[in-house]
């Protein structure tokens, strides 16, 4: 089983409106809500791809209850730690005229020391039954910056591999615990390392502890470096991206599956490219269309890079 | 006691952001939520003005529970009818840079025939102890257009006077039951009557059943006609309106108090002008600042109109 950890789980609310005009009043035509947060989205994708998954993290209040109810309806197993605070909502206002989404992200709920301690205990316990632990997304107030370092060590002690998808301080602090894979996008890569050149930044993250780095760059695909080599992966066809927001989570889901199934790096990266591409073709963030995946599979490219080509 | 009926009660959520940019992602800095809907706002003002009030209406789901909890904290007595549906939320995104508010109003919850029947029964019962029943705001799906006509008749049978603040079909249908006062704004007045001239439109509403009409026109004040005369009321000073959205509810609260206390029309209209003005000076919709009210009281003007001046 793959365990996903979402410390800042959210209730993702989507409003359909005609068009967004700042300063005006809008009639919301449709309301949809769904469990969200990066780790929850990874769990949703793994569940859709028929991989055993268990979602943990922190959830509380009315929004927490609604997101748990949504996971139950979707059939996604969860073992979320209850908190007294109210889980955040994200409101995505989608214009019917343009398809454009305007997002409003609430701050995360306050987390007490006791709640954070109980979550650590829970992850340690659940990791004992997991092949891979995925740590995704932002940290709510009250959870320390080195949260992911704690959880990576705890997962390793339990015998599980780890994938970290975080940014800023949370990503930098996680490196201390030597996670198996970190997956920043290129903006997060540059921000965390302070190094503008992507390959230089990848090396900086490895120097600071990451065993492997997979850096995604939207439609340009991804670059990866592990102890055994370096690769570049991309899709050799043009896609009309319907919803690019879930691509990173699909990539993480593919990497977690690859680690769990002990696949080779090129195979794992091919899945990462394919799942990400299939995800952006879906109208709903965090979903991978299996038919699309089969259709685009033959256009996935993974190139093995030798030392001389690392500077390209 | 004044009974306020809010069929489409809401949880009003306010997001503080730096600035609103359509198509972009916004970090919400502050989140506030409060019980809302026009009738609830009238109840809040009456409570602040130390008048006995009871809030009824329909409320359900997590938003319904949150709005009831807010009323309890505010000390506003309520007797809301529970429904299975989820009460609507309104999201007001306030830009810190400009103070500008961008509103997103969810549609109301579905209401079953049984729930609507139970609400009618509840209003009939509560109206027996009320001097005035206030019927304010939109109708949620499932509640018939002639809802306010039903409730006006039921209030009258119980011996209570009625104030209706509605628009469109709900307002037109209410006229059949001859409410004591209807309070449209000038846009609602023209839309409901199909008559562009305000005094002509007021006459149309009276011809169709309203005993009295008070039509508000923002900073221009109000015009009113009852069986005993016609009046114009306004504030003879310039105000810096902080939040104009609650002015209509403050006006309705003043009219309800006037009916309950059997005040003269000029006195009642003077309060309506004063309370509305004090409300726009408050940063929070549906609040009347008693100190501001005392300060601006001497600038309230109510003019008795004779027949010849009705066409001015």
* Share in percent of chain B as helix, strand, coil (round to 5): 40, 25, 30
Who among A15, A93, A106 is closest to B28 (CB)?
A106
Mutation target to probe the B interface, by most B beta carbons within 10 A, among A16, A33, A91 is A91
Q: What is the pLDDT of residues B169-193, one digit of tens each?
A: 999 999 999 999 999 999 999 999 9
Q: Which residue has the tokens 């300060």?
A: B295
Q: Does the CB of A97 have a partner CB in chain B at under 8 Å?
A: no
Which residue in chain A is spatially nearest to B20 when comparing CA positions?
A22
Looking at the DSSP bridge assignments, the partners of residue A30 are A16
Range from A76-90, B61-75, B93-107, B275-289 carrying the lowest mean pLDDT: B275-289
Residues of chain B found within 8 Å of residue A33, distances taken between Cβ atoms: none
Give the percent of chain A with pLDDT over 70. 97
C-alpha triplet B54, B59, B62: angle, nearest 5°: 130
Report helix, strand or coil for B140: coil
**B311 band by pLDDT with thresholds 50, 70 and 90:** very low
Closest by Cα among A268, A269, A264, A288 to A278:
A288
How many CB contacts within 8 angstroms connect chain A with chain B?
Answer: 79
Query: How many residues does this entry show for chain A?
Result: 312
B29 close contact with A: CB closer than 8 A: yes
Measured CA to CA, the distance from residue B285 to residue B1 in angstroms comes to 23
CB contact under 8 A, B103 and A28: no
CB atoms within 10 A of CB A122: 17
Cα dihedral: B241, B242, B246, B250 (round 10): -60
Q: Are β-strands B25-27 and A101-105 bridged in parallel, bridged antiparallel, or unpaired? A: parallel
Regions of chain A with pLDDT less than 50: 308, 310-312
Q: What is the pLDDT of residues B231-278, one digit of tens each?
A: 999 999 887 777 777 899 999 999 999 999 999 999 999 999 999 999
Per-residue pLDDT tens over the stretch A58-101: 999 999 999 999 999 999 999 999 999 999 999 999 999 888 99
For residue A62, give the chain B residue with the closest CA: B62
Length of chain B (residues): 312
Residue A112: what are its φ and ψ, rounded to 5°? -85, 165
Mean pLDDT calculated for residue range B138-157: 97
d(CA B312, CA B308): 8
Chain A within 8 Å of B12 (Cβ-Cβ)? no
Beta bridge partners of A156: none
Q: Does B21 touch chain A (CB under 8 A)?
A: yes
Find where tokens 């990451």 sit.
A210
A87 and A60 in contact (C-beta within 8 Å)? yes
- Which CA distances in Å does A280 have to A174, A185, B127? 28, 15, 56
Contacts of A27 in chain B (CB under 8 A): 105, 107
**Order of strands, edge to edge, in the sheet holding A88-95?**
A30-36, A10-17, A88-95, A101-105, B25-27
Where helices occur in chain B by DSSP H, the ranges are 38-48, 61-74, 113-127, 147-157, 168-175, 186-193, 198-207, 247-260, 265-280, 290-296
* pLDDT score at B286: 67
Flag whether the ipTM exceeds 0.90: no
CB–CB contact B104 A93 (8 Å):
yes
Q: What pLDDT score was predicted for residue A165?
A: 98
Q: How many Å lie between the alpha carbon of B115 and the closest alpha carbon of chain A?
A: 22
d(CA A191, CA A168): 7
SS3 B308: helix
Are A164 and A137 in contact, with CB atoms under 8 Å apart? no
Q: How far is B309 from A154, CA to CA, in rounded Å?
A: 83
Q: How confident is the model at residue B149 (pLDDT cuts 50, 70, 90)?
A: very high
pLDDT at B312: 40
Classify residue A142 as exposed, middle or buried by CB count within 10 Å of its CB (0-12, 13-18, 19+): middle
SS3 of chain A: helix, strand, coil, percent, to 5: 40, 25, 30
| Mean pLDDT (whole number) for B20-39 | 95
Give the separation between CA A121 and CA A154, rounded to whole angstroms.
9
Q: For B6, which DSSP code?
A: E
Choose the closest CB to A102 out of B22, B27, B29: B22
Q: Is A25 on the interface with B (CB under 8 A)?
A: yes
Residues of A in contact with B63 (CB under 8 A): 62
Tokens representing B228 are: 């005993």
DSSP A194-219: --SSHHHHHHHHHHTT-S-EEEE-GG
Q: Name the residue of chain B whose CA is nearest to A20's CA.
A: B22
Check pLDDT > 50 for residue B308. no
Q: Which residues of A touch B285 (CB under 8 A)?
A: none
CB contact under 8 A, A20 and B15: no
| Other Cβ atoms closer than 10 A to A191 | 16
Mean pLDDT for chain B overall: 94
> Percent of chain B scored above 70 by pLDDT?
97
CA distances in angstroms from A198 to A16, A160, B166, B170, listed in the order given:
37, 28, 60, 62
Half-sphere exposure of B283 (CA within 13 A, CB side): 3
pLDDT tens for each residue of A246-293: 899 999 999 999 999 999 999 999 999 999 999 888 766 667 878 888
What pLDDT is recorded for position A17?
Answer: 97
B285, pLDDT greater than 80: no
SS3 state at B231: strand
d(CA B222, CA B232): 6
Question: Measured between CB atoms, does A186 come within 8 Å of chain B?
Answer: no
Backbone phi, then psi, for B8, in 5-degree steps?
A: -120, 55
**pLDDT value, residue B10:** 98
**CB within 8 Å of chain A, chain B residues 46-85:** 62-63, 65-66
């Amino acid at each position: 089983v793959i365990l996903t950890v979402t410390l800042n789980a959210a209730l993702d609310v989507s409003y359909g409106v005609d068009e967004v005009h700042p300063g005006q009043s809008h009639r919301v035509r449709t309301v949809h809500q769904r469990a969200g947060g990066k780790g929850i989205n990874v769990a949703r994708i793994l569940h859709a791809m028929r991989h055993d998954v268990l979602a943990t993290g922190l959830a509380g209040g009315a929004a927490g209850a609604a997101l748990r109810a949504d996971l139950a309806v979707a059939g996604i197993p969860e073992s979320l730690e209850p908190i007294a605070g109210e889980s955040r909502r994200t409101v995505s206002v989608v214009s019917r005229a343009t398809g454009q989404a305007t997002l409003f992200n609430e701050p995360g709920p306050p987390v007490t020391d006791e709640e954070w301690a109980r979550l650590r205990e829970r992850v340690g316990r659940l990791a004992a039954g997991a092949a891979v632990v995925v740590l995704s997304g932002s940290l709510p107030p009250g959870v320390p910056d080195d949260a992911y370092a704690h959880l990576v060590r705890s997962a390793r002690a339990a015998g599980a591999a780890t994938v970290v998808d975080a940014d800023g301080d949370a990503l930098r602090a996680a490196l201390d615990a030597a996670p198996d894979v970190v997956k920043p996008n290129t903006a997060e890569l540059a921000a965390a390392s302070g190094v503008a050149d992507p390959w230089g930044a990848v090396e900086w993250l490895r120097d600071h502890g990451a065993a492997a780095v997979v850096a995604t760059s939207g439609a340009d695909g991804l670059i990866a470096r592990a102890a055994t080599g370096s690769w570049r992966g991309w899709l050799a066809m043009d896609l009309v991206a319907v919803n690019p927001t879930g691509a990173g989570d699909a990539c993480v889901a593919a990497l977690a599956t690859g680690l769990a199934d002990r696949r080779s790096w090129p195979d794992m990266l091919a899945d990462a490219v394919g799942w990400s591409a299939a995800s952006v073709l879906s109208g709903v963030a965090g979903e991978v269309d299996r038919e699309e995946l089969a259709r685009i599979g033959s256009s996935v490219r993974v190139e093995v890079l030798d030392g001389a080509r690392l500077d390209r």
